[in-house]
Amino acid sequence: MQKMPQWADVVLIPLISLLLAALLSALVILAIGENPWAALKLMVDGSMGSTYAWGYTLYYATNFIFTGLAVAIAIHARLFNIGGEGQAMLGGLGVALIALYIPWPHWTLALLGGAVGAALFGAAWALIPAWLQAKRGSHIVITTIMFNFIAAALLNYLLIGALKPSGSMEPATGRFPEATHLPTFQDMFSTAETALFRGAPVNVSFFVALIACVAVWALIWRTRLGYEIRAFGQSESAAKYAGISPTRIIVVTMLISGGLAGMMAINNVMGEAERLVLNAVEGAGFIGIAVALMGRSHPFGVLLAALLFGFLYQGGAELALWTSIPRELIVVIQALVILFTGALDNMVRMPLEAMFLRLRPAPKPARKTEPAE
């Protein structure tokens, strides 16, 4: 029996957690002598006040959708993939190789090729931790976080060596060919009279992220594989009794998870930078954990949480630019949101469950039946 309605779990708990994080953030801003209300208005204007602001908010949200979906699908199998950072790095490597060494006649074909390359490289980077978990019992958290550091070292080695153009001093690949450049929202929605999203990096990969949300929803709740993933996540012993192979589910789930994290590279590498650079991921793999937790591992929830964190990233950048609030304090505000929506979830959940149990009407006593004469 559920202790509280489903809508309370999906909507009320994240909302209260957000309000608590906002209240504590306001107190922190007040403590350094700034006006919290003015800071909030500046964040809203800086992240949603113009098409330029929306362009950056949606750009960040696109990254977080991919990494959030990657974590979410793993959570359904009760796997905690915190290797999205490294998988996204390797996805960038896949995009770079596809874009640099295969001639593409048009960006549409390059986008398809880049998405496949990014997904394959991200999935390959998730395969070894998955196999170690399935076959050797190595904990997925330990192996995936170690692979983040290995991915960073590998990328650094390649970008100062084999992939760096001759004569260049920067640890980056050469610029991708013109045919692989993805159209931005400015290209897609501006007219001769009105320039929209001027200079913003949001691009067509945002729509790929939306398609990924629908695809993950269909996979989890409308396919046999999705049922097996959820069954394994609920009870491994019951899933084994039903004939579901734990090894297969762990490996397949992590391959899908790694592929989704890798596909982030079509946004930040192929769409925005148009080359592969160091630190291109910028922590989006770890933000994906908070996005998945806040979105309750549901693709629609992940979408909403990604938009929220896109707002926090872009609004925080504007706040640091136009006020005396230091950039480090913006990170603290983001951390508070992650803390309340993730680690401190039970602090909100348990009182609400107790409240709903008290409000639930008592069951009616069973009617006594008269014995037949």
pLDDT per position as a tens digit, 267-284: 999 999 999 999 899 899
d(CA 118, CA 236): 31
Beta bridge pairs of residue 172 = 277
The model's pTM is 0.92
The answer to whether residue 44 is domain-embedded is no
Is there a single domain that holds both residue 354 and residue 208? no
Is there a single domain that holds both residue 78 and residue 177? yes
| Most confident of the following: 133-142, 310-319, 330-339 | 133-142
Q: For residue 355, what are the domain limits?
A: 1-34+324-359
Q: What is the mean pLDDT of residues 98-109?
A: 95
**Residues above pLDDT 90, as percent of the chain:** 68
Is there a single domain that holds both residue 91 and residue 145? yes
The answer to whether residue 157 is domain-embedded is yes
What's the pLDDT at 369? 63
How far apart are the two ends of the chain, measured CA to CA in Å? Answer: 39
From 315, 348, 367, the end of a domain falls on 315
Query: Can you give the CATH number for the domain in which 265 is found?
Result: 1.10.3470
What's the pLDDT at 345? 75
What's the pLDDT at 54? 96
What's the pLDDT at 367? 67
Predicted confidence (pLDDT) at residue 342 exceeds the cutoff of 80: no
Is there a single domain that holds both residue 331 and residue 224? no
Is there a single domain that holds both residue 246 and residue 340? no
Confidence of residue 231 (pLDDT cuts 50, 70, 90): very high
Confidence of residue 107 (pLDDT cuts 50, 70, 90): very high
Q: What is the mean pLDDT of residues 228-243?
A: 94
**Residues above pLDDT 70, as percent of the chain:** 96
Q: How many domains, the chain?
A: 2
Confidence of residue 177 (pLDDT cuts 50, 70, 90): very high
Beta bridge pairs of residue 203 = 184
Confidence of residue 371 (pLDDT cuts 50, 70, 90): low
Is there a single domain that holds both residue 115 and residue 22? no
**pLDDT tens digits, residue range 296-318?**
899 999 999 999 999 989 998 88
The answer to whether residue 52 is domain-embedded is no
Confidence of residue 329 (pLDDT cuts 50, 70, 90): confident
The answer to whether residue 45 is domain-embedded is no
d(CA 300, CA 273): 28
Q: What is the mean pLDDT of residues 180-202?
A: 93
Is there a single domain that holds both residue 218 and residue 86? yes
Is 272 within 8 Å of 92 (Cβ atoms)?
no
Q: What is the mean pLDDT of residues 114-133?
A: 97
The answer to whether residue 370 is domain-embedded is no
Confidence of residue 323 (pLDDT cuts 50, 70, 90): confident
Is there a single domain that holds both residue 109 and residue 249? yes
Is there a single domain that holds both residue 91 and residue 30? no
| H-state helical runs in the chain | 6-7, 13-31, 36-48, 51-76, 84-101, 107-131, 140-159, 185-189, 205-222, 224-234, 236-241, 246-262, 265, 284-294, 299-322, 327-338, 345-359
What's the pLDDT at 11? 80
Average pLDDT, the chain: 91
Q: Tell me how crowded residue 345 is: count the other CB atoms within 10 A of its CB.
A: 17
Is there a single domain that holds both residue 263 and residue 138? yes
